[in-house]
Chain A
């Protein structure tokens, strides 16, 4: 039985796809069989971030419509044999997703995988609500900014009322806060909400803080999940997040502003 993880936010562009790619790769590197699904039907991007855009033949909607088998549509990652990507359709719209169809695909994946990561589209329409419907765990990606925090809270309401676990009165979805694009320096200057501020408002378990980092754009340029850039701050922060998700106790990093020393400035530390 796989554990189904939804990466969601409400607000667009906060880092869901970056996070889905990083976490899926991190879980796979730790030896867990992992599938990552792009629910952003019509605007697929996970394939690009994972660097497998030229290997897409069939997609999620083809599998739902039984035009292709799951095994035909899953793309095996070239860097980790434990990782598979199920891309979104680029030509259909979100109405091609049905609750029954998504349930069928997730059910089949659950038989062979340890984790299924669902990369949600922005918004609260069908793609987003179906991405979270079957979830066991939810990672709420939030930027330290008013509209993102408000939207995250909105998503918490939907998780608590419109998910399968809510509807069947099962144990509620485990919700985790992932604060991304964090700038300790701007927090120090009083220009940006701090981790504590956001936690106080959302009262969620903090899975981690990902700094605003140049490494993210570099990684997406290359089609490499940023977690593989283990020299970078964002890569290390995502590695910590995966370890924490798996139950390891890892202290939070990249939250305090670090003055760059002369040594650091000279050697790029």
Chain B
């Protein structure tokens, strides 16, 4: 590749924009494909339970499933509100 080619193929070429967009999209779609289809429902029901005790936002929860050869990991992430906003919760 000569110098001229190098400048032509700069990171701003339309092909490199296409590649970048595709890499993000394909990774996203593959992740969605490997999720079991009960995840959205599981997420909704978990949120209902949690909201009985803590006033969390509707989007404060994320459920992800990761897989490797040996095991599957179900990761549950809940963002709790600041102390000030937290309403008293019964101890259990």
List A residues at the B interface (Cβ < 8 Å): 145-146, 149-150, 153-154, 157, 187-194, 197, 200-202
Contacts and interface: CB of A to CB of B under 8 A. Distances in A.
Contact of A146 (B8, B13, B22): B22
A65 to B, nearest CB: 35
Interface stretch (B25-33, B44-52, B63-71, B84-92): B25-33
A150 B14 CA distance: 17
A154 B29 contact: yes
A200 B25 CA distance: 13
B18 interface: yes
Interface of B: 5, 8-10, 13-16, 18-19, 21-23, 25-26, 29-30, 33
Given A153-B26, A154-B29, A157-B30, A190 B19 contact: no
Contacts of A157: 29-30, 33
6 closest Cβ contacts across the A-B interface?
Answer: A190-B13, A190-B9, A197-B19, A157-B33, A190-B15, A153-B26
- Of listed B14, B18, B25, residue having the most chain A CB within 10 A: B18
A12 B15 CA distance: 21
B22 to A, nearest CB: 5
B29 A191 contact: no
A150 B23 CA distance: 10
Contacts of B30: 153, 157
A190 B16 contact: yes
Given A157-B33, A197-B15, A188 B23 contact: no
Given A150-B26, A201-B26, A189 B18 contact: no
A225 to B, nearest CB: 31
A192 B19 CA distance: 10
B29 A153 contact: yes
A201 B22 contact: yes
A153 B24 CA distance: 13
B22 A149 contact: yes
A191 B13 CA distance: 7
